[in-house]
Amino acid sequence: MATINENYLKLQAGYLFPEIGRRVSEFIAANPDKKVIKMGIGDVTQPLVPTVIKAFHEGVDEMAKADSFKGYGPEQGYGFLREAIAEHSYKARGIDISPDDIFISDGSKCDTGNIQEIFGNENKIGICDPVYPVYADTTVMSGKTGVCQLNGYYEGVIYMPCTEENGFIPELPTEIPDLIFLCYPNNPTGTVATKEELKKWVDYAKANKSIILYDAAYEAFIQDEEIPHSIYEIEGAKSVAIEFRSFSKTAGFTGTRCAYTVIPDELLAYDSEGNTHKVKKLWNRRHSTKFNGVSYPVQKAAAAIYTEEGRKENEEVIAYYMENARIMGKSLKDAGYKVFGGKNAPYIWVKTKNGMKSWDFFDKLLNEANVVGTPGSGFGPSGEGYFRFSAFADRENVLEAMERIKNLK
């Protein structure tokens, strides 16, 4: 008799995006003449830059000739890409990361989920609220939690509220998590963590033998010189943190798929007898057993981001999104909303007026301004009363959406 992994039965139905889709379709069906502007999605809208496309094409052409054809590549990724990352993403910022500590993959979503299987199920997981839903759901799937409670919190997870009061950086929890998910610049709040704030977490992890799972998917959007791009900019972080990075948002690879995970050689975890083990060794074992590498043309395209031309072109795309974010931040503020984020991240986190619930604001915005955003409560209970706007949009739509919101009654 085949049985299932019953942890899957604990999962709450993926509610947020299907529900948004349902309400939008219903509105469009009833109002076919209205132009709906979507500012809810966390997906890029601008195409890959020319230098990346050129390298991508070259990679494909190499596959067409016998003398340059490539079969299976190294599971960890090609040396040329790992070296380019170590050089340009880390060494250029004064961080010493060996190419051997970098694992190329097809996405950070997969990596942040898959990483859980190399850690024991007795680990307590610390998760921010509101949060990118993948961390919680994959924690449930891996069997590290109890059931979902009425307030939307899973039993056995240590939730760390991120609120206006704490500047959307959680307080160090009194019940100590063994694995701590942090994401800065943050999705959904668009806020960032300073060096001092991250140092608190690194020291806390060190003191408690915990590991920080640091999602830096939006690091390329940081504008402020003082804000760290990597957790490894904090002294001592290499012995307590894994870092996830992705080309998805930083270079428009959401549909092309390429990301990487950094596990420093010095990062250790314990077995039940208290002996230490290199985390990197376990991840390497997992990665080379269950993954067969990212396609060669894609890795070649990703490496082109680090050329002078590629970097310049990409910076222009990021500047375009950040100008959207600036316009949105200013317009929403002028319209009387309290606005967070959007300065070093492509997300604007808006407090609704007069304590309006997130979903009520969603309906008002859809019905009266024909604009779609994402209700904050969909990211966790502490997101109630907030709303996320994404700067991944066309300028024309941003300007029109902001004009409509300004005119809302």
Which of 55, 259, 262, 339: binder of ligand PLP (CB under 6 A)?
A: 259
Nearest to 341 by CA among 356, 355, 321: 321
Residue whose pair of structure tokens reads 């996405």 in the numeric block: 107
* Contact between 144 and ligand PLP per CB under 6 A: no
How far is residue 10 CA from its own chain's centroid? 24
341 touches ligand PLP (CB under 6 A): no
- Residue 393 binds ligand PLP, judged by CB under 6 A: no
Residue 251, amino acid: A
Cα-based angle 268, 246, 128 (whole degrees, multiple of 5): 65
- Does position 215 interact with ligand PLP (CB under 6 A)? The reply is yes
- The closest residue (CB) to ligand PLP is 107
Q: Which amino acid is at 292?
A: N
Give the span between the Cα atoms of 283 and 321, in whole angstroms: 34
- Comparing CB distances to ligand PLP, the nearer of 331 and 387 is 387
Cα separation, 188 vs 183, in Å, equals 10
Contacts with ligand PLP in 221-250 (CB under 6 A)? 246, 248-249
According to the binding rule CB under 6 A, does residue 107 interact with ligand PLP? Answer: yes
> Considering beta carbons, is residue 210 or 248 the nearer one to ligand PLP?
248
* One residue of 183, 267, 317, 366 binding ligand PLP per CB under 6 A: 183
Is 373 a residue that touches ligand PLP (CB under 6 A)?
no
To ligand PLP, the closest distance from the beta carbon of 299 in angstroms equals 14
**Applying CB under 6 A, which of residues 51, 89, 142, 187 lies at the interface with ligand PLP?**
187
Concatenated DSSP letters for 21-64?
HHHHHHHHHH-TTS--EE----S--SPPPHHHHHHHHHHHHHHT
Is residue 331 involved in binding ligand PLP (CB under 6 A)?
no
Separation between Cα atoms, residue 264 and residue 278, nearest integer Å: 9
132 binds ligand PLP (CB under 6 A): yes
Instruction: Report the C-alpha gap between 33 and 239 in whole angstroms.
Output: 58
* Among positions 82, 109, 144, 343, the unique one binding ligand PLP when judged by CB under 6 A: 109
Residue 251 Cβ vs ligand PLP, minimum distance, rounded to whole Å? 11
Could you give the CA distance from residue 210 to residue 269 in angstroms, rounded to a whole number?
Answer: 8
Q: Which residues bind ligand PLP (CB under 6 A)?
A: 42, 107-109, 132, 183, 187, 215, 217, 246, 248-249, 254, 259
